[in-house]
Amino acid sequence: MRIVVTGATGNVGTALLRRLAAEPDVRVHGISRRQPEPKPPYDVEWTPLDLSRSGAEQPLADVLRGADAVVHLAWRIQPSHDEAELYRANVAGSERVFAAACEAGVPHLVHMSSVGAYSPAAKDHTVDESWPTGGLSNSYYSRHKAAVERQLDQVERNHPGLTVSRVRPALILQPGAAAEIKRYFLGPLVPSVLFRVNLPVLPLPKTMVLQFVHADDVADAVAMVVKRKLPGAFNLASEPVITPQVLAEVMRSRHVPVPPFVLRGLARVTWKLRLQPTSHGWVDLALTTPLLNASRARDELGWTPRHDAREALRSLLDGIGRREGVSASPPLKP
């Protein structure tokens, strides 16, 4: 089986390469904007390609010919102040991948969507894959994820013989992505040393309830989807749900409730002043995204996460404190 993976140097991409390296009957071709250094990790072919570039469809289609599946992971989080650039990379780039896959006759398309594609929901219940994917209007990340879901709807209508799978995970963590996550979401405003000490208090809204999943567990699920060629959407999340109280316990701190508008306002001001890279839209997303029911992945894939959410979160926070990363991967480099 030959599998092409876009965004293969990223958080999920590196985990998926590790996972597929254990499959003796699988050949992998990695695609990324920047080629790994000093040489590509794992035993994979590699093509450096910027999916945001007009005309990228043709070289991409050339790579995809003869592939049994394409796993589309490529997605940019920064620069958060340039939504047009993010749109070119994420929405237009995804459209190029889908068009190239159809032109090349790839039989299976797997797209890495997100919990962020879902419409808002209360945090007192979980939702399955039938929940609307309308996104959150004031989050560019959510708008773009929802827009790509609409592209996939169109691809399915136009190409009924193509198997389309959508993976919708909770927040994906691994120690190897600690430097990237710190850089993309916290920046220099929050020094790494804070993750090596016990903070006296953790001020967060009571409603900031989140789910997490380890990148290796996401890679397991993607590998299962590819090998079984299962269509449709799959939610992925590990237990337990992380409330602010649980997060404070993991950080050896004490939760102090604050109104949502305080955190949103702080994020808005510091982002506009370019003191940190996370816009207020991310705060709204954390407050309103639904909690995921991952029963379909467990029942139909036999997927069981090996890492619980506390463990994944703790390992990431320790990794941020130690400034961990993956030296061979440009986006994950410490």
Instruction: Write the pLDDT tens digit of every residue in 29-38.
Output: 999 998 887 6
Q: What is the pLDDT of residues 238-283, one digit of tens each?
A: 999 999 999 999 999 999 999 999 999 999 999 999 999 999 999 9
User: CB count, 10 Å around CB of 148?
Assistant: 27
For residue 288, what pLDDT is reported?
96
Beta-bridge partner residues of 127: 292
For residue 7, what pLDDT is reported?
96
For residue 238, what pLDDT is reported?
98
Mean pLDDT across the stretch 307-319? 95
For residue 40, whether the previous peptide bond is cis, meaning omega lies within 30 degrees of 0, is: no
Q: Are 214 and 256 in contact (CB under 8 A)?
A: no
Dihedral sign computed on CA atoms, order 7, 11, 14, 15: negative
For residue 194, what pLDDT is reported?
85
Per the listing, tokens 């290796």 go with 216
Going by pLDDT thresholds of 50, 70 and 90, the confidence category of residue 39 is low
Residue 230 in tokens: 């299962």
Mean pLDDT across the stretch 47-63? 94
For residue 170, what pLDDT is reported?
98
Mean pLDDT across the stretch 133-161? 97
The CA angle 304-307-312, to the nearest 5 degrees, is: 145
- To the nearest whole percent, how much of the chain has pLDDT over 90? 88
Q: Are 175 and 334 in contact (CB under 8 A)?
A: no
For residue 40, what pLDDT is reported?
58
User: CB count, 10 Å around CB of 227?
Assistant: 17
What is the DSSP secondary structure assignment for residue 92, as one 8-state letter?
I
Going by pLDDT thresholds of 50, 70 and 90, the confidence category of residue 77 is very high
Residue 246 in tokens: 């649980």
> Helices (H) and strands (E) in the chain — how many of each?
12, 13
CATH code, 2-171+212-237+290-305: 3.40.50.720
Mean pLDDT across the stretch 120-130? 97
Q: How far apart are CA 311 and CA 213, in angstroms?
A: 10
Residue boundaries of the structural domains of the chain: 2-171+212-237+290-305
Return the closest-CA partner of residue 118 out of 235, 230, 206.
235
* Beta strands per DSSP E along the chain: 2-6, 27-32, 45-48, 69-72, 108-112, 126-127, 163-169, 171-173, 202-204, 212-214, 232-236, 255-257, 291-292
Q: What is the mean pLDDT of the chain?
A: 94
Q: How far apart are CA 137 and CA 145, in angstroms?
A: 11
Q: How far apart are CA 319 and CA 37, in angstroms?
A: 21
Going by pLDDT thresholds of 50, 70 and 90, the confidence category of residue 4 is very high
Q: What is the pLDDT of residues 162-216, one digit of tens each?
A: 999 999 999 999 999 999 999 999 988 888 888 888 889 999 999 999 999 999 9
Mean pLDDT across the stretch 302-313? 96
Q: Are 199 and 253 in contact (CB under 8 A)?
A: yes
Mean pLDDT across the stretch 37-50? 79
Residue 207 in tokens: 């409603």
